[in-house]
Structure 1
Amino acid sequence: MGLFDAILGNAGEMSAEDATEELATILGPEEQIELAYKLIRDMIVLTDRRLILIDKQGVTGKKVEYRSVPYKSITMFTVESTGHFDLDAELKLWVSGQPSPIALEFNGKTNIYDMQGLLAAKIAGK
């Protein structure tokens, strides 16, 4: 992920190994990370059990909010791919009990179709 993408607020892919190492303290027993994305300090992680949104706060990033969303709570999602002039992809998630969707943006290098396929399998069944 380049500096330009970070300035624009677009997440880029990161390896599952790096994400597993960083999140070892919050993963459940035998929980496996399937996809992970990073935006400067924040992360978006899809495991075999849930979606985790990590928000590192403050100057030092010591305070961290972990938002865990079970796949069964996601009622709908949309994926918008990149275009000729719109260089970022977007994912919107509607979670039961929430009035508005969670909107996430990804850089053009991110394969949004991998995420869409995994979400479809987890939400709609395999």
Structure 2
Amino acid sequence: MGLLDALLGNASESDINETQQELLRILASDERVERAYAIIRDQIIFTNKRLILVDKQGVTGKKRELLSVPYRSIERFSMETTGHFDLESELHIWVRGMAAPISKTFRNDQTIHDVARALAEYAL
């Protein structure tokens, strides 16, 4: 991911091997990272078994919240692309048992399409 993209909030695909190493302690023995996207400091990670949403918190980003969502629990998802005056696109994921959807904001239409395609491949 380029520094300029990170500063602008654009999402980009992350290195799968690096992400696999970062998550080694929480992955199941036969689980592997297949796709990973970074949005500023946060990440959306697709493994062969689940979706992992990483929310880095604090000034240093050392504190992290990891939300694990089994693909079978994803009920639906939607994406809203950018327009002439609205420069942000949004992804919403409804998970069984949660009242409100999980929302992620992107500033890059291409990446939100890539993430939505990955969601379709894994969750449908």
TM, length-normalised to structure 2: 0.79
Give aligned pairs, total. Answer: 124
Quote the Cα distance in structure 2 between the aligned partners of 1:96 and 1:83: 30
Query: C-alpha offsets along residues 33-77 of structure 1, whole Å, 9 cap, x if unaligned?
Result: 122122333211111111111122223333221110111111110
Quote the Cα distance in structure 1 between the aligned partners of 2:109 and 2:88: 9
Q: 5+ residue gaps in structure 2?
A: none
CA contact (8 A) 2:82 2:109 kept: no
Change (3 A) 1:76 1:109: closer
Quote the Cα distance in structure 1 between the aligned partners of 2:32 and 2:87: 30
Quote the Cα distance in structure 2 between the aligned partners of 1:118 and 1:60: 29
Query: C-alpha offsets along residues 3-42 of structure 1, whole Å, 9 cap, x if unaligned?
Result: 6654565533212122212222222212121221223332
State the percentage of identical aligned residues.
51
Q: 5+ residue gaps in structure 1?
A: none
Partner of 1:21: 21
Q: What letter matches 1:105 in structure 2?
A: T
Partner of 1:117: 117
Q: What letter matches 1:73 in structure 2?
A: S
CA contact (8 A) 2:11 2:108 kept: no
Partner of 2:51: 51
Quote the Cα distance in structure 2 between the aligned partners of 1:46 and 1:39: 14
> Helix, strand or coil for the counterpart of 1:111?
helix
CA contact (8 A) 1:42 1:54 kept: yes
Partner of 1:36: 36
RMSD between aligned residues: 2.4
